[in-house]
Amino acid sequence: MISNTHNFPAKELKGQFPIFLKKIYGKPLTFLDTAASAQKPYSVIDEVKKCYSENYSNIHRGIYYLSSTLTKQYEDTRIKVSKFINSEDPSEIVFTKSATEALNLLATSLCKSYINDDDEIILSHLEHHANIVPWQIQKSNNIKLVISELKDNFSLDIDDLLSKITSKTKLISITHMSNSLGHITDIKKITSEANKKNIPVIVDGCQYIAHGKVDVKELGCDFYVFSGHKIYGPSGVGVLYGKKDWLNKLPPYQGGGDMIEKVSFEKTTFASAPQKFEAGTPPIAQVIGLGAAIDFVQDVGIEEIKSYEKFLYQHAYEKMNELPNVKIIGHSENKGAIISFTMNNAHPSDIATLFDQEGIAIRSGHHCTQPLMNKIGISQTARISFGLYNTMEDIDILIQSINKVNDFFK
């Protein structure tokens, strides 16, 4: 029997998120969709507002006060992100507009310079479309996507993945945590084999980044990507971590201002990384907001968040598992706080619609993982996901609302 209490200050933290002042159809908001996008604390909102109202200008281009102040704040955020994920050097951090853009950057630049016809890339059935479609778009040059299998509980079968490595394998690109089911991947088990064979590993850390400590050196990966909006920061900014050697040798993804050394009509030379990958005016305010979000998460403590969210998961799982008609998809001990479920008597979109009437926000659908849904043999799930502001009361409201679904669809 697990304890009913945890000393994590979730209620206090909830008070730092203005969205929770809002009533939905006259009811308090119960937000159970953090996996789609996390809510924003005052500190992030205030920092973005301050950027626009007190410091705004373009960066890297002006020698005047505003520009140099904001350039410093932008570059300081690069240092902050680098320390947050323990990269060797801030120059290994590229700001993009999203994780999706970071993955497209990698697919384009790697396929242009490193991956050739008949080479193999290993993905898994757990991947988000953002780690499938960019590789397919590049498939004009006959790259083979090799898909690793899942275990019975739909977590990644790493032994199967490792057994799929051949002399043709040029890359492994894999999620750190499934956005649909919450399973966490043992990345080190993959990199320890891949590193021996000089196969680079990309980790899609979108879901893991706000829910557990990321140390790219310890993980041993070559690239790590995530989006700012999943870690309580603004939308419109993503992070691509790449080992220095890789970023130095990869060609740029987009061309434009700020990424060049010298331009003439005959020949252009490029700036060194990370500038080489940041063409044009970057998402300045979003990067600065991301810096505030990282401060926020670090002040709370990532290990404390992880422990509390595990506590929430276990309670929700146990209570939901006892309810009639509820089928939880893919339980394991090594999961983040995401629960996908179906009900025998109600379609996921009906569940989400009824929940909405109670002020509960959840996601229903394929969660941008159609191949995973096909593998499971369903088309959709209802998905709840927790953040650091969720409480045991939220779980009570969830359970009451599932009971209401059962009453409604008798």
Ligand X SMILES: Cc1ncc(COP(=O)(O)O)c(C=O)c1O
**Which residues form the interface with ligand X (CB under 6 A)?**
98-100, 128, 130, 175, 179, 204, 206-207, 227
Q: Is 224 helix (H, G, I), strand (E, B) or coil?
A: strand
Residue 41 or residue 234: which is nearer to ligand X going by CB?
A: 234
Sheet with 338-343, edge to edge strand ranges: 326-329, 338-343, 381-385, 363-365
Residues 334 and 184: beta-carbon distance below 8 Å: yes
Minimum gap (Å) between residue 185 Cβ and ligand X? 11
Dihedral angle sign, alpha carbons of residues 66, 71, 72, 76: positive
Minimum gap (Å) between residue 204 Cβ and ligand X? 5
* Burial environment of residue 250 by CB neighbours within 10 A (0 to 12, 13 to 18, 19 or more): buried
Minimum gap (Å) between residue 6 Cβ and ligand X? 26
Cis amide leading into 371 (omega within 30)? no
Q: Tell me if residue 368 is catalytic.
A: yes
Minimum gap (Å) between residue 156 Cβ and ligand X? 13
Residue 59 or residue 132: which is nearer to ligand X going by CB?
A: 132
Residue 71 or residue 380: which is nearer to ligand X going by CB?
A: 380
Nearest in space to 95 (alpha carbons), one of 216, 254, 201, 202? 254
Residue 39 or residue 227: which is nearer to ligand X going by CB?
A: 227
C-alpha span between 278 and 90 (Å, rounded): 14
C-alpha span between 326 and 322 (Å, rounded): 8
Minimum gap (Å) between residue 297 Cβ and ligand X? 17
Residue 390 or residue 401: which is nearer to ligand X going by CB?
A: 390
Minimum gap (Å) between residue 12 Cβ and ligand X? 28
Residues 37 and 229: beta-carbon distance below 8 Å: yes
Residue with tokens 């929940």: 355
Cβ-proximal residues to 329 (8 Å cutoff; 6+ apart), any chain:
154, 181, 340, 341, 342, 376, 378, 381
Residue 301 or residue 365: which is nearer to ligand X going by CB?
A: 365
Residue 206 or residue 316: which is nearer to ligand X going by CB?
A: 206
Q: Which of 51, 206, 221, 368 is catalytic?
A: 368
C-alpha span between 199 and 38 (Å, rounded): 33
Minimum gap (Å) between residue 53 Cβ and ligand X? 26
* Burial environment of residue 12 by CB neighbours within 10 A (0 to 12, 13 to 18, 19 or more): exposed
C-alpha span between 179 and 340 (Å, rounded): 10
Active site residues: 368
